[in-house]
Structure 1
Amino acid sequence: MPRIITLTPNPTYDFAVDADFVAPNRKLRCRNPQSHPGGGGVNVARAAVRLRADVLAIITAGGLYGDAVKGLLGEETVPIRSIPVRGETRIAFHVRDLSDGQEYRFNLPGAEMSAAEADAMIAAVEEEAKEGDYVVGSGSLPGGGPVDLWARAARAAKARGARFVLDSIHGVHEALAEGIFMLRHNRYEYPIIAGRELPWPDGVIAFARGLVAEGKAERVTITHGADGSIMASKNGVARTNVLPIKAHSAVGAGDSYVAALLVALMRGWSDDDAIRYAMAAAGATRLTPGTALFRPEDVERLYKEARGSA
């Protein structure tokens, strides 16, 4: 059975609270504290486990917060392979202003990654990836880390018959030059590669199809906020809209999208159904507060609604 193997070179210990209001120079009383393991690949793994996929999360971990991230992943029964690093795993702090519903995200810098630590992450891919697996590189690259880390991971995955998926704004050009299975970006990320904003949907679709035609990625999927999402491949272009929901937090929605999309593709679903399932998972995560991810029953409900409205 294929696995979803995620790579998170820059994980986080996520902490989230609610505040009655956010204002400068005031003592802010907070409540409803939550803590979760975070970082792009970590969240993809957490979401995939909830969708009953076979998963392995390869993470770096250092110091007190690194131990906390490993402990929280254990509580969620996410299998991990931990790469010890000398620096401290970073933290991220999220505050929701209850007076207006706005969310504030504070991401602290992580420790720099040494060449030896980067080599250890690639070695883990070489040892763990098998034919048919999906290897997902997601999130930011830590300072000091090689800009070609994702390209090296893609090369290692392909050498073992696995498919490399990238959801990051760092090292993208290098990874695309190597050739990958899938690129996922959102409306704020794709302009970095495209070089400019593009009109939705035609300009974004043309951009995605261009990357596929050039052989840089077999699939390109772009999530575009309230406009919905598209996925281009040799099969054509699948597109779906956003279902109307009352959102609480966007944290982890994109990662849930990636996890559900891969799970659907592993099940042999059509591109249209796969992208609807991905949007259902993203929407279900937006229903939950702070850094919490979706409830599986919400994903199934939203997916049925998406199919019914198609």
Structure 2
Amino acid sequence: MSAPVIVTVTMNPALDITVDAERVGPTDKVRCCADRYDAGGGGLNVARFARALGAPVSAVLTAGGPIGARLVELLDDAIVPNTFIALRGDTRESFTVNERSTGRQYRFVLPGPVLTTDEQQRCLEVIDASATGAAFVVASGSLPPGVPADFYQRIADICRTRQVRLVLDTSGGGLEHITSGVFLLKPSVRELRECVGSPLVTEGEQIAAARHLIDRGVAEVIVVSLGADGALLVTGDRCRRLAPVAVPTVSGVGAGDAMVAGIVVGLSREWGMESAVRYGIAAATAKLQTPGTSTFDRADVDRYLDQVPAPTSVVAQCSDLGL
């Protein structure tokens, strides 16, 4: 069997549980209904979405206890090839409640199991073996307790050695400790703010912060997701603004992962960067209209792709942020 084009890495996966409730409030029991269960965590979402888009993909994940076993079972049911590193601790759960009376969404996220030094080393060995022959490695999501903040940098070093392009979507220490080797970085504005330690109020400041990371050699390309405002595509010599497609939202959970999946699938088809990011926006748009972290229909993504406006050039005076 040939190696998958895309390999995703999820160090801290979760069993995503999504329910509806008429009203969420303190003290009283919140009666829930319409429960659904999905294999979640950034990399697993990307793997499921990439497969829905028809791309050859494989997932690397950690899994521990009955919840971890359930997670692997859900991946198998979704026909997503996977390799899991068995943990002594239990895989976490994430809980989302949709409040019907207001349309609000409440998300509860657990920290995950503590990984031992031996388990971390086993993860790196599996990632190294899985990356061999792949075109892209997508590392996405938070790092679990016990894992050093430079762990994603170690993955970047593996990708450099294997000559595989790394796509990274993370936050906090995992993002702040990346120094080199990322092909494409996809932070949200909030994550970019936290990374550079600046409020980044204006578009020019956001572009300046992204260019600062590119100039430092952290990444070659940065796609800043702006939520309902679309995205900024930033390289060393240009910046493009990409507008969103306005649709009613069922759930925003996993939309960023859908964007990553669309971008990487587009690149795996040898599309240009701007076309790939437009595909990412189309995938995120389709994801907004599905419940929980469930997958979308490929036909919907193709339909929304026709509605994504062409990118526009951004000419901005980038403020000196003192970075």
Partner of 1:247: helix, strand, or coil?
A: coil
Aligned twin of 1:299: 301
Shift of 1:276: 1.2
Shift of 1:309: 9.6
The superposition leaves residues 93-145 of structure 1 with CA deviations (integer Å, 9 ceiling, x where unpaired) of 11000011100011122110111111111111221213562111111111111
Partner of 2:190: helix, strand, or coil?
A: coil
Task: Please give the alpha-carbon distance, in whole angstroms, between the structure 1 residues aligned to 2:199 and 2:133.
Answer: 37
Aligned twin of 2:110: 108
Structure 1 residues 47 and 114, CA gap change in structure 2 (3 angstroms): same
Matched, 1:61 2:77: no
Task: Please give the alpha-carbon distance, in whole angstroms, between the structure 1 residues aligned to 2:276 and 2:293.
Answer: 24
Structure 1 residues 308 and 216, CA gap change in structure 2 (3 angstroms): closer
Q: Is the 8 A contact 2:189 2:206 kept in 1?
A: no
Shift of 1:296: 1.4
Instruction: Decide which moves more: 147-156 or 228-237.
Output: 228-237
Partner of 1:282: helix, strand, or coil?
A: helix
Q: One-letter code of the match for 2:252?
A: A
Partner of 2:118: helix, strand, or coil?
A: helix
- Name the count of aligned residue pairs: 309
Task: Please give the alpha-carbon distance, in whole angstroms, between the structure 1 residues aligned to 2:25 and 2:216.
Answer: 49
After TM superposition, list the pairs within 5 Å mapping 1:1-310 onto structure 2: 3-131=5-133, 133-169=135-171, 170-175=173-178, 177-234=179-236, 236-307=238-309
Instruction: Decide which moves more: 12-21 or 267-276.
Output: 267-276
Partner of 2:271: helix, strand, or coil?
A: coil
Task: Please give the alpha-carbon distance, in whole angstroms, between the structure 2 residues aligned to 1:35 and 1:235.
Answer: 43
> Where does structure 2 lack aligned partners over 5 or more consecutive residues?
313-323
TM (normalized to structure 2)?
A: 0.91
Task: Please give the alpha-carbon distance, in whole angstroms, between the structure 1 residues aligned to 2:181 and 2:311.
Answer: 35
TM (normalized to structure 1)?
A: 0.95
Q: Is the 8 A contact 2:160 2:181 kept in 1?
A: no
Task: Tell me which stretches of 4 or more aligned residues in structure 1 moved more than 4 Å.
Answer: 307-310
Q: One-letter code of the match for 1:90?
A: R
Shift of 1:213: 2.5
Task: Please give the alpha-carbon distance, in whole angstroms, between the structure 2 residues aligned to 1:131 and 1:181.
Answer: 17
Structure 1 residues 6 and 292, CA gap change in structure 2 (3 angstroms): same
RMSD: 1.7
Structure 1 residues 200 and 283, CA gap change in structure 2 (3 angstroms): farther
Task: Please give the alpha-carbon distance, in whole angstroms, between the structure 2 residues aligned to 1:211 and 1:115.
Answer: 30
Partner of 1:246: helix, strand, or coil?
A: coil
Shift of 1:271: 2.3
Structure 1 residues 146 and 21, CA gap change in structure 2 (3 angstroms): same
Instruction: Decide which moves more: 120-129 or 62-71.
Output: 120-129
> Where does structure 1 lack aligned partners over 5 or more consecutive residues?
none
Task: Please give the alpha-carbon distance, in whole angstroms, between the structure 1 residues aligned to 2:115 and 2:45.
Answer: 21
